[in-house]
Chain A
């Protein structure tokens, strides 16, 4: 489980970083634009890594918390009790929204700040996207 948790986090980080590098709109060319692009890739990668890790942990918990459902869930008609599955799902959604959402919002803010200002030419987070933008 530990190895898979780390693998999901690292894999999500790599996937998010690559997607930001490949598909993010171009930045304004200037001093330090490369560093801004790297920071945006790190922010999106961290958000994706956290989301992947929490999704894996949620699925793992849903699978392995199964026996508790019969004990706590009131099979004998003891009245309504909180479902562990619903708690796990809500906790996973809350973790992803509160952490990945903040990081994605910050990445968008940094990108807007990096794109604003002078219009001395566009440089994409990847050279291909920048060239594509110029062709379009």
Chain B
């Protein structure tokens, strides 16, 4: 139960940091409905990226702590293999999913900014 609470707190912290960072870096004007929608989308993508990275980091630490409690069967080789699998999974998830979400948020922000620039030129 304690690990669940800590995981939730860490994930919420990551979500908050990602939300604030995306909102401040997007530099999107919230004049029209489309621009507000784009700003919310960028903030959501940043929040999801932050939550994903934070939760995966905590999950890795928690799994390594749990694996340390395994007995030393097969001369510790089983525990070593489990640790390696967890590390590879966490690193690949953080690098791939985190970078993908951050890149998508940036692409959405750039497209929305181009639309806002065109609208201001047309008006």
Chain A residues in contact with chain B, CB under 8 A?
1-2, 5-6, 9, 13, 31-32, 35-36, 39, 42-43, 46-47, 49-50, 53, 57, 99, 102-103, 106-107, 109-110, 113-114, 116-118
Q: How many residues of B are in contact with the other chain, CB < 8 A?
A: 26
Contact of A50 among B26, B96, B104, B107 (CB under 8 A): B96
A43 CA to B98 CA, complexed, in Å: 9
Within the assembled complex, what's the spacing in Å between the Cα atoms of A92 and B26?
36
Contact B96 A46 (CB under 8 A): yes
Please tell me if the beta carbons of A109 and B107 are within 8 angstroms of each other in the complex: yes
Task: Report B's interface with A, CB cutoff 8 A.
Answer: 25-27, 80, 83-84, 87-88, 91-92, 95-96, 98-100, 102-104, 106-107, 109-111, 113-114, 117
On whether A116 and B114 interact (CB within 8 A), knowing A9-B91, A110-B107, the answer reads: yes
Closest to B21 in A: A35
B106 to chain A, nearest CB (A): 4
Q: Please, which residues of chain B bring their CB within 8 A of the CB of A2?
A: 80, 83-84, 87
B interface secondary structure, majority: helix
Most chain B CB neighbours (cut-off 10 Å) among A6, A43, A47, A110? A110
Q: A32-B26, A43-B99 provided; 9 other pairs, C-beta below 8 A? A: A31-B27, A32-B25, A32-B27, A43-B103, A46-B98, A99-B96, A109-B107, A110-B110, A113-B111
Are B88's CB and A103's CB within 8 A? no
Instruction: Give the complex CA separation of A87 and B115 in angstroms.
Output: 47
Q: How far is the CA of A25 from the CA of B27 in the complex (A)?
A: 23
In the complex, which residues of chain A have a beta carbon less than 8 angstroms from the beta carbon of B88?
5, 53, 57
